[in-house]
Structure formats: C-alpha cells, structure tokens
Amino acid sequence: MPAKPPPVAAINLDELPGHHIRRLQQIAVAIFLQETDTLGITPVQFAALQAVANQPGLDQRSLARAIGLDTSTVAGVVDRLETRQLLQRSADPNDRRVRLLSLTWEGEGLLRAAQPAMRRAQARILEPLSTADQHRFLQLLQRLVTANNGLSRAPSSE
C-alpha cells in the first residue's frame, strides 16, 4: 500500500491578490447589472457597443483586441447584438472577407441610456475609497493590466 501523501498546505485566500481580483470582478458585474437592469445589457456588451461607438467601422478582430476578448467570444457577442438590432455588419470595400461594425440607431439609443448607469456602477465600485485612493487604485490597476497583458489568452491592443 502506498504511503499517505503529506497534507495539503494551508493557504490564506485573503492573502492572494487573484482571489480578491476575482471577487471584485463578481461584485463589479453584479453592480453593473443592478444599475442597468431595465436595459438588458451586460458589461461585455456595453464594452463592445462603446468600442464601436468610439471607432465606427471597427472590424471584429480589432474589436476583440480593443476589449480584451478572444475572437470566438466576440463573434458570439456581435451575433447577439446584431440579432437585437443594436449593431450591424457591413462588408469592407477593400476586403470582402472583413466585416465592419457600426451601431444602429437602436444601438446608439441603448448606449446613450446605458452610459449614466455604467458611470453610477463605476462610482459604486470605488465608493469605499477616498478620491485620492480611487485615483491611485486605478493607476495601479492599469499598471498591472498593462504589465501582464501579454499573458492573457486574449491580450488587448491597449
């Protein structure tokens, strides 16, 4: 009979930044969904719509890089937004294989309605911090994301 392996080491989850980042992501999504509950939009759909609004004519591959998602996930997001008539795809005149994205009139309206809710959600997420800590937290968060971007399965282009 094989010897019993040594016991698994105890690790305090409260000392793991990844654990807190995962929990904060859950909280951020919950707050966003609370603020946008009447609009029927997810944080990823908001990001996709906003990225297209920021750069009309963006192609799907560029959208994926802009919001840090893999291309197959973005394809599903775009499909759902197109089905809801919030986005439309059109052929690139220079390359018929490429589909360019633009907001529909309905998509612009939804995005316009969602922006105040998104801003409220962001404020609620950061509310426990002082104004100075909010700025510092965002700086540190951006530094971590930028420094580790290449390790992602879907690196963003930012």
Q: Output the pTM of the full model.
A: 0.89
The per-residue pLDDT for 2 is 86
Q: Which residue has the tokens 């996709």?
A: 48
Integer Cα distance of 1 and 13 in angstroms: 34
pLDDT per residue, tens digit, the chain (158 aa), is 789 999 999 999 999 999 999 999 999 999 999 999 999 999 999 999 999 999 999 999 999 999 999 999 999 999 999 999 999 999 888 888 888 999 999 999 999 999 999 999 999 999 999 999 999 999 999 999 999 998 988 888 75
Q: State in words which class domain 16-144 has.
A: mainly alpha
pLDDT at 98: 85
Q: What is the model's pLDDT at position 58? A: 94
Exposed / middle / buried, residue 26 (Cβ in 10 Å: 0-12, 13-18, 19+): exposed
